[in-house]
Amino acid sequence: MAKQICEICEKPMPGPPSEWPDFPFCSPRCRKIDLGRWLGEKYKIASKQNEDQSSDEDLEED
Ligand SMILES: [Zn+2]
């Protein structure tokens, strides 16, 4: 069986699966990093939509 690797730090999961409360992350720290990345992506998409809206307004002004 392939060893489970933490998606964030890419280290093998420590101990047996019963000791992985933060799976698929090896630790609360890696879980937090993943959440931060996810929220960062969401923010980037939201700000891009705002840019599109403001460019529409610019066209109307012309
Ligand atoms: Zn990790």
Q: pLDDT tens, 21-36?
A: 999 999 999 999 999 9
List average pLDDT for each run of 10 residues in the chain, which is 62 residues long.
87 91 94 93 81 62 63
Give the Å distance between the CA of 47 and the centre of ligand 1: 29
Residue of 41, 38, 8 lying closest to 23 (CA atoms): 8
Q: How far apart are CA 5 and CA 24, in angstroms?
A: 8
Q: Determine if residue 9 is labeled as part of a ligand binding site.
A: yes
Is 19 annotated to bind ligand? no
